[in-house]
Chain A
Amino acid sequence: MKRYTNEQLLKIEENAKKNKKDLTHLTDKSKLSAQDIVKLGLCKHFVQFSVSKKMKSKDIAKLVGEPPSRMSEVINYKISKFTVDQLLKFLSALAEHDAQIREYLVFFGKAAELPALPIAATKRLTRDLKEAALQL
């Protein structure tokens, strides 16, 4: 990999410091509330879409019909600025352009529809979901 010169690196570091508040924050998820975990999970689909389709946030903003700055916040996981409701609305708009997301929303709806199961059954389902995610 071609390395940066020291001067270039200093500039990159300086810019990162300056735009610190816009950067994605990676933190230990075990301390987050269920609501925040759902929000993070929903935001992840926008990033996944952007990575797989090689699209910038402003292009996704056009698809969703939201301002680019708003979409940039979604893509950088600024979850305190959104409700689950809003994220689902954005994801539904994106689903019109992507079959994978459309199908995911069907799955999400079915999961939410599920009645509360006995603890052992819920744990088994959670484990199966984790395993399925690892195999992707």
Chain B
Amino acid sequence: MKKAGSRIDRGQIKEITLKRQITFNGNIIKKAVIEIDHINFGLNSKTKSLNKKKRTTFTVKDIEKFLIMLDGEYVAAKKFRGRISRFEVKIDCPVVGRFKDKLFIMIFETDYDKSEEIYTVTLFPGW
């Protein structure tokens, strides 16, 4: 049987075209891949699977607002794996509601060979 931690079952993954293209680290980004269930439920550190209860109620459109905040920014990557760069940033929530202006941590990746695409790994409360 596969170990619980080696699974990659993290619910729905949405692929969207950004309503407004953004420039990040000098690259134009038009598409985003978003692990929406992972963002909203988070992973349980014991069972290593998605939590049962939602921690946030973001929609794909809300995540797009976070991504738009990257427009015009230059950020140094935290790690590299092959031609993929991983970025970790603190970001103030731009979504109107109970999380407005609260601090979140967003982890995302860009691929050198797919410079038009951004892969949002996770977004979680950082306070």
Interface of chain A, helix or strand or loop or mixed?
helix
Q: Is the beta-carbon distance between B84 and A23 smaller than 8 angstroms?
A: no
Please give me the residue from chain B that is nearest to A136 by CB atom: B26
In the complex, whether A80 has a CB less than 8 A from a CB of chain B is no
CB neighbours (8 Å) of A75 from chain B are 76
Range of interface residues on chain B? 35 or more
Please give me the residue from chain B that is nearest to A133 by CB atom: B72
A7 to B44, CA, bound (A): 10
A28 to B73, CA, bound (A): 12
- Whether A24 touches B90, Cβ cut-off 8 Å, given contacts A6-B8, A10-B48, is yes
Please give me the residue from chain A that is nearest to B49 by CB atom: A6
Q: Given A9, A47, A57, which contacts B122 in the complex, CB threshold below 8 Å?
A: A9
A43 to chain B, nearest CB (A): 9
Q: Is the beta-carbon distance between A12 and B9 smaller than 8 angstroms?
A: no
Interface residues of A (CB under 8 A from B): 1-10, 12-14, 16-17, 19-20, 23-28, 44, 47-48, 50-52, 57, 75-76, 133, 136
